[in-house]
Amino acid sequence: MTTTRRLLTLTTIAFAGLLLSACSDTTTETERDESGEVTERNDDASVFEIKVGDCYNFPDESTTSTEVQTLTAIPCADPHQAEAYHELEIEGDDFPGASAVEEQANAECLAEFETFVGAAYDTSVLDFTYLAPTEASWDQLDDRLVSCLVVDTENPEVTGTLAGAAR
């Protein structure tokens, strides 16, 4: 199975935007313990709060839109749809274009997949998607961060971390 084909299966939950979410007054701060882990469900967590190791559910509008402002942050011990496993910062002053952002995000998320999951992407039943800046969030919010998210397309609600799942 090729990377392109597997990623295309996620187009209904893939995200390409963080448009102005930091300015949204509908977001609420996610409760975390001293180690930074999410301790309580937050249905209105800003996409700018994502940290490696956090677990999330996708918003309902993710099936009709590629731009999201909030996710549901969930303690990883509870059933969830995705886990943030890597982040990267895209360099530069000018927005490189959606294709360039997508190419860099795909390459780096793929490169870090095996390290996190413990199995090669081509043999794993798991998949990944990512959140990446749009031109508007790049220009207006100085947004440069891509968050890689691991998902289990066969079991859409995972309990616990997928770190080292080796599947």
pLDDT (tens digit per residue) in 72-107? 999 999 999 999 999 999 999 999 999 999 999 999
Overall residue count recorded for the chain in this entry: 167
Q: Using CA atoms, how far apart are residues 93 and 149, in angstroms rounded to an integer?
A: 25
126 forms beta bridges with: 152
Q: Does 160 score more than 60 pLDDT?
A: yes
pLDDT given for residue 158 in this prediction: 95
What confidence tens digit (pLDDT) does each residue in 107-159 have? 999 999 999 999 999 999 999 999 999 999 999 999 999 999 999 988 889 99
Predicted confidence (pLDDT) at residue 8 exceeds the cutoff of 60: no
Amino acid letter, 121: Y
Indicate the Cα dihedral angle 26, 69, 126, 118, nearest 10°. -80
